[in-house]
Structure 1
Amino acid sequence: MKKIATSSTILDKLISFINFTILVLLSLSILLPILNVLALAFNEGSNAAKGGIYFWPRAFTFGNFTEVFKQSNIINGFFVSMFRTVVGTVLSVVLTAMAAYALKSRSLPGHKQITFIIFFTMLFSGGMIPYYLVLKNLSLTNSIWVYVLPALYSVWNMMIMRSFFEQIPAGLEEAAKIDGCGDFAIFMRMVVPVSKPVFAAIALFNAVGHWNDWFTGAFYVRDESLKPLSTVLQEMLTKQKALADTLTSVTNAIQLEMAAKITVTGTSLKMATIIIVITPIIIVYPLLQKYFAQGVMIGSIKE
């Protein structure tokens, strides 16, 4: 018996060591690239072009970030991104939660048919051209509301919320109905307070999607003052790459003379851009981590 117990203990320790090693390697695979991006973002571009920059800048500078913020539309793009992220996230979470709560009710007439129709839209898309024509006919193109209104509802988020609401004990709603509460009062007083994890998870999904989206601003908005930060930075990066390609085509003498005056390169600018874009999300995530960890478990356990 002692031999069996000893073998079991050794096996448990071995499994724990293997799991720990795998987790450390996975963590390093995420952390080391971020450190490399930080090092390149805070290093002079011309100096970094020589190579050898890994996890610490060799020639420390804020010049890359200064160059990024020299663009006149960067600040405006930041406020556009903040508007669409805050307004779009709040409206989407509230409206999606209401729709999910309605779908949860088995007494809803045509419950199965409505659920199938909504789910069907997640499987098939009309395509980019029909989508653009719909936006144009609704006068949403070249408007700040093109970022908010089309993204109000997500079928996937709606199904996640519905699954969470279905796990709430039916006794809570029955007790509220006995006390004379209507559906809206039950939703606001009973459902919302116990649904913080799913609200936090869906809010984080929406916020990250709004903040990182550059496609909408690039294809559906022409007014430069309405373009979000991600689109502004993407266009700026494209222009800088074109400039770098032009420099490589000139004679060596001219190229060396220009390179001596320019310390910012396309790569260093790209790394600074990445840091600017991901910083707000990195700041917000720890605030929602407690609820997000609970929210991602939604639907994993069925009673």
Structure 2
Amino acid sequence: MNVGHEFYKLSIGEKLFKFINYALIVLLCLSILLPFLNILALSFNAGKDAERGGIYFWPRVWTFENYSEVFKSANIGRAFAISIFRTFLGTIAGVLLSAMAAYALKSKTLPGVRFFTLMIFFTMLFSGGIIPYYILLKNLHLTNTIWVYVVPVLYSAWNLIIMRTFFQQLSISLEESAKLDGCSDFGILWRIVLPLSKPVLATISLFTAVSHWNDWFTGTFYIRTAALRPLSTLLQEMLTKQDAIRESLMQTAGSDQMIMLQQVQLTGDSLKMATIIVVVTPIIIVYPFIQKYFAKGAMIGSVKE
């Protein structure tokens, strides 16, 4: 198909609509890409020089000192391992269990299905609060253990509702045919429903993985052992400590302190940018492998009524 020839065949209104549509898409892409390029440039720029401003999309004074400072921590390797463990296990277990629950809730013949759905939706509107939640985790012996990252968030009301809605859109003919062939409910879920639900599974998996990877709150408030803290919590503590040192040195403006302050400022805000790059890079690497499922209709042509 000749795209240019087809474009000239459009009316003036259609051409104007396409131009505005493409212009908005380009602006949206730039609004996402340019801030990221600015963060990347600052992460490779010397912190003292970055304080002068004027750095946009290319470093003015190249340095790897910011990343060296990030990876200097003795616990960085263990923190990476904990983050990978909780993200992998939490995503796989959470998506699988949520899919099983959503498949059960989509059935109109399940006794009390409306009540259970209402109770799940209720948790999206109200919560018990942080203190009761902490007491619950403590009574379950989950605090200060690696399982506090995985077990409490195995189920998400939002994910359940999204999956249930998607499962309800699948043709009932497939399930009826499978049941006539003697397939069990679990077999239908595993062999028919899940293979046809790759778009929603990929989307929920990405959201769950990002949530696990970026979560610093759990490691800060429910973990006392430094060796059990994930990457996001460790880097957050590094930034907090950096800011605390700077504030302390600025309050005591002696000559020795000013020298120390200049050494701290060698990383400055650039350290924060390097920290952001370290945290988001694994997600950026994984995203292209599942991006195709976002727009792909796996159900097209599978059933002919």
Deviations 1:38-64 (CA, angstroms, capped at 9, x unpaired): 111001111111222111001111110
2:280 alignment partner in structure 1: 278
How far the C-alpha of 1:143 sits from its partner, in A, is 0.7
Determine the C-alpha separation between the residues in 1 that align with 2:16 and 2:170.
40
Determine the C-alpha separation between the residues in 1 that align with 2:282 and 2:28.
24
Runs of 4+ in 1 over 3 A off after TM superposition: 252-263
| Alpha carbons 1:46, 1:262 under 8 Å: kept | no
Determine the C-alpha separation between the residues in 2 that align with 1:275 and 1:76.
19
Mapping of 1:201-216 within 5 angstroms? 201-216=203-218
| Identity fraction in percent | 62
1:164 alignment partner in structure 2: 166
Change in CA separation of 1:259 and 1:242 when aligned onto 2, cut-off 3 Å: closer
Greater CA drift, 106-115 or 205-214 = 106-115
How far the C-alpha of 1:247 sits from its partner, in A, is 2.9
Local SS of the residue matching 2:291: helix
| Alpha carbons 2:143, 2:223 under 8 Å: kept | yes
Matched residue count: 289
1:189 alignment partner in structure 2: 191
Mapping of 1:115-154 within 5 angstroms? 115-154=117-156
| Alpha carbons 1:244, 1:266 under 8 Å: kept | no
| Alpha carbons 1:81, 1:229 under 8 Å: kept | yes
Determine the C-alpha separation between the residues in 2 that align with 1:27 and 1:256.
43
Determine the C-alpha separation between the residues in 2 that align with 1:10 and 1:252.
71
| Alpha carbons 2:249, 2:258 under 8 Å: kept | no
Mapping of 1:14-25 within 5 angstroms? 14-25=16-27
Q: 2:291 aligns with which of 289, 292, 296?
A: 289
Change in CA separation of 1:190 and 1:55 when aligned onto 2, cut-off 3 Å: same
Determine the C-alpha separation between the residues in 2 that align with 1:255 and 1:180.
78
Determine the C-alpha separation between the residues in 1 that align with 2:89 and 2:196.
23
Local SS of the residue matching 2:165: helix
| Alpha carbons 1:40, 1:57 under 8 Å: kept | yes
Determine the C-alpha separation between the residues in 1 that align with 2:131 and 2:28.
41
| Alpha carbons 1:96, 1:153 under 8 Å: kept | yes
TM-score, normalised relative to structure 2? 0.90
Q: 1:111 aligns with which of 110, 113, 126?
A: 113
1:248 alignment partner in structure 2: 250
Determine the C-alpha separation between the residues in 2 that align with 1:261 and 1:142.
35
| Alpha carbons 2:217, 2:233 under 8 Å: kept | yes
Change in CA separation of 1:256 and 1:124 when aligned onto 2, cut-off 3 Å: closer
| Alpha carbons 1:77, 1:229 under 8 Å: kept | yes
Greater CA drift, 286-295 or 205-214 = 286-295
Matched, 1:51 2:53: yes
Unaligned runs of 5+ in 1: 1-5, 296-303
Read off the aligned partner of 2:189 and give its amino acid letter: F
Read off the aligned partner of 1:245 and give its amino acid letter: E
Q: 2:64 aligns with which of 62, 65, 77?
A: 62
1:217 alignment partner in structure 2: 219
Determine the C-alpha separation between the residues in 1 that align with 2:184 and 2:43.
55
TM-score, normalised relative to structure 1? 0.91
**What is the RMSD of the two structures over their aligned residues, measured on CA atoms?**
1.8
Deviations 1:164-201 (CA, angstroms, capped at 9, x unpaired): 11111111111111111111111111112111111111
